[in-house]
Amino acid sequence: MFSQFIARLFGVIRGVIVGIFVLLVAVTFAQVIFRYLLASPLTWTDEFARYCFVWIVYLAAPIALHRGLHIGVDMLTIHLSEKTRRVLAAVNDLFTLAVVVTIGFASIEVLSANRLQFSPALGVQMAIVYLAIPLSMGIMALVVAAKLLRLTDPVDSKERP
């Protein structure tokens, strides 16, 4: 059931990423048209594109974690027994969980500190931009929790999420 929730959540996240990417491309294309064809560049498009990119990266990070696409070194672990690999995977997941929870809580302070700061070109509250960090870390914590639950299940342990 938890895996189904994660799968649905990732479906929504992928849709949001695609939507943000479409906006990013459209705004960048508009900037090219305004700058080179109309000789009247838009002042806010660079900032908008930067913030879109930030959100895309932070929303895609939990998907990459779920798929096992983050960089890892397995030179040692491929020579270990299955049981030892599972123990090391659990330790790794616990460290990962500690890191994402720490970053998530620390980023809440960043949100609070930047709630009265506004971006120069768009006038957007910077807390909205920085909201990507705790949101991403929360989703990553869910992914790691799902991995840990799967590791404890002897039937599903060979197919880690």
Q: Does residue 157 have a pLDDT over 60?
A: no
Q: 95: pLDDT confidence band, cut at 50, 70 and 90?
A: very high
pLDDT of residue 100: 96
104 CB contacts (<8 Å, ≥6 apart)? 133, 134, 137, 138, 141
* 62, 14 Cβ separation under 8 angstroms: no
What whole-number percentage of the chain has pLDDT above 90?
62
pLDDT tens sequence across 49-66: 999 999 999 999 999 999
Question: Considering the chain, what is the average pLDDT of its residues?
Answer: 89
Would the CA dihedral through 104, 133, 95, 87 be positive or negative?
positive
For range 31-49, the mean pLDDT: 93
